[in-house]
Amino acid sequence: MSQPHPLSVWAQNVSPSPTLAIDAKAKAMMAAGEDVCSFAAGEPDFDTPEFIKEAAIAALKSGKTKYAPTPGIEPLRAAIAERYAAEYGYQITPAQVVVSPGGKFSCFLGLQSVCNPGDEVLIPAPYWVSYPEMVKLCGGKPVYLNTSDRTGFKISPAQLEAAITPKSKVLIFNTPSNPTGGVYDRAEIEALMAVCLKHNLYILSDEMYEHLIYDGKQPTCIATLSSELAARTITVAGFSKSYSMTGWRMGTLVARPDIAKAAAELQSQMSSNCTTFAQYGALAALKEKDKARESLGAMKVAFDRRRKAMHAGLNRIPGITCLLAEGAFYLFPNISSFRIGSQEFCAKLLEQEKVAAVPGSAFGVDGYLRLSYATSDDTIARGLERLARFCAALKN
Ligand code: PLP
């Protein structure tokens, strides 16, 4: 009997998510009774607001337990269209909206809708870990645009232009950014989008953290900048970060009607509708605006306070420098002065001081760490003390 065939090239080539792996390891250590300070989480440490849970429970009890239309229940798609009009003046129809099982899946559907094998997809680095893997799963080729803290982790129009070839198809753009927390200004986005239009690129605009922006800055919804951009932009967002609903698996995709239709058809063969009764929870999040504003406001106040505390604490540690990011719930300090790779830095930090952080290398740039401040003030204070001790020992 011959050996069974090897696994597919997709299965062999995909890298598992390093952020989920580190978070899982930190959680396992905590469950085993170890006193870990974890800065690895990619999710708010707040519970889903009660009114959202209650709406989902009521839907469950009233029998919303069957298949629903693949792109989402009608009232939810309508509410998503309404919220884009209210927040950004973006006029779309419900037919342009797809509700998917998570922002991650929305990104994948967006890429699957426009990316052919052999197409090049431009990805600013540091990048969210899933982008390159998703591009490869579409048969595309990721092309990285490297940045550093010297430019605030932002790409320039000239840099974008220089990376474009006749095979370039899509720019993946993520602001506020995971992992840096960086936020592009509207003028900076306009300059980059002019290059995208000149070269007829699609833009996969990952606006997952649109509501988590500090210092009075406002988010930019790229599709609203011009009708040409609306025709080329696939907007990804969701409920995970704004409403503390990471486990619910609810993402959104908004695009030109034919792209949205294609994404829904792809979803119809890959996952069908997002959990039916969960969609009623999401509907409550959009409909009960005062309650939603209150819970988001409370979360933002806490994140902003922790952001400032963590930023100040990091910059007090000799050898570390850190920009004050304006969005999401991450800081991305520079640790290159310690002259060890970020992976080794994080492995030793977890082993010696029980502090969990994600190495910059996981996001395509070495010499940095990603620290999430979606954790308690006390964990931040204690974790920074340990990090300072660890850094002092490394310097000696
Ligand atoms: N995009 C970015 C930049 C993210 O950080 C995340 C989650 O961490 C997602 C998309 C996906 O979110 P979801 O949990 O809804 O799949």
DSSP string, 112-137: HHHPPTT-EEEEEES--THHHHHHHH
Residue 268 confidence (pLDDT): 97
Q: What is the pLDDT of residues 13-26, one digit of tens each?
A: 888 777 777 888 88
> Cis before residue 18, ω within 30 degrees of 0?
no
Same domain flag for 43 and 153? no
Q: Which atom of ligand 1 sits closest to the CA of residue 107?
A: 10
| Residues 284 and 343 both lie in one domain | no
CA distances from 255 to 189, 261, 391 (A): 18, 9, 47
Mean pLDDT along residues 211-228? 97
Same domain, 138 and 267: yes
**Considering the domain boundaries, does residue 150 fall inside one?**
yes
- Å from CA of 104 to ligand 1 middle: 5
Residue from 240, 248, 330 to probe ligand 1 pocket by mutation (most atoms less than 8 Å from CB): 240
CATH number at 229 reads 3.40.640.10
If you measure from the C-alpha of residue 241 to the centroid of ligand 1, how many angstroms do you get, rounded to a whole number?
A: 8
pLDDT at 1: 84
56 domain-assigned: no
For residue 269, tell me if it sits in a domain: yes
Place of tokens 């050996």: 3
- Per-residue model confidence as pLDDT tens digits over 169-186: 999 999 999 999 999 999
Which residue, 288, 319, 337, sits at the end of a domain? 288
Q: How far is CA 148 from CA 129, 154, 317, 332, 366, in A?
A: 17, 8, 20, 10, 10
> Are 322 and 210 members of one domain?
no
Q: What is the CATH number of the domain that holds 361?
A: 3.90.1150.10
Whether residue 114 is found in the same domain as residue 165: yes
Ligand 1 mean position, distance from CA 246 (Å): 9
pLDDT digits (tens, 9 = 90+) for 104-134: 999 999 999 999 999 999 999 999 999 999 9
- The residue behind tokens 């800081």 is 331
Residue 396 pLDDT exceeds 80: no
Q: Please tell me whether residues 267 and 318 are part of one structural domain.
A: no
Atom of ligand 1 nearest to the CA of 251: 15
**Tokens of residue 35, six digits:** 């006193």
Structure tokens at 251: 């993402």
Same domain, 144 and 111: yes
Q: Of 256, 288, 320, which one is at a domain's C-terminal end?
A: 288
Check whether residue 38 and residue 116 sit in a common domain.
no
DSSP H stretches of helix in the chain: 9-13, 18-31, 50-61, 74-88, 103-114, 130-137, 157-163, 186-198, 227-232, 257-270, 276-287, 289-315, 342-353, 377-395
CA of 138 to the centre of ligand 1 (A): 19
Q: Report the atom number in ligand 1 closest to the C-alpha of 174.
A: 3
Q: Give the count of domains, the chain.
A: 2
- Is 328 a member of any domain? yes
In angstroms, what is the span from residue 209 Cα to ligand 1's centroid? Answer: 8
Residues 44 and 165 in one domain: no
Range name among 34-43, 59-68, 110-119, 257-266 with the lowest pLDDT average: 34-43
- For residue 27, the model assigns a pLDDT of 87
Ligand 1 site-directed mutation target among 20, 129, 134, 178, most atoms within 8 Å of CB: 178
In a domain, 4, yes or no: no
Neighbours of 137 (CB within 10 A): 16
pLDDT band at 288 (very low <50, low <70, confident <90, very high): very high
Q: What is the mean pLDDT of residues 85-106?
A: 98
Q: How far apart are CA 106 and CA 252, in angstroms?
A: 6
Atom of ligand 1 nearest to the CA of 328: 5
Q: Is residue 55 included in any domain, yes or no? A: no
Instruction: Return the closest-CA partner of residue 274 out of 130, 105, 134, 113.
Output: 105
Same domain, 35 and 96: no
Q: Which pLDDT belongs to residue 312?
A: 98
- Domain membership of residue 214 as a residue range: 62-288
Asked, for residue 243, whether it belongs to a domain, the answer is: yes
Domain boundary (288, 320, 344) is at 288
Cα 154 to ligand 1 centre (Å)? 20
Residues 29 and 156 in one domain: no
Around ligand 1, the residues with Cβ closer than 6 Å are: 42, 102-104, 107, 128, 174, 178, 206, 208, 238, 240, 246, 251
The token pair at 19 is: 């952020």
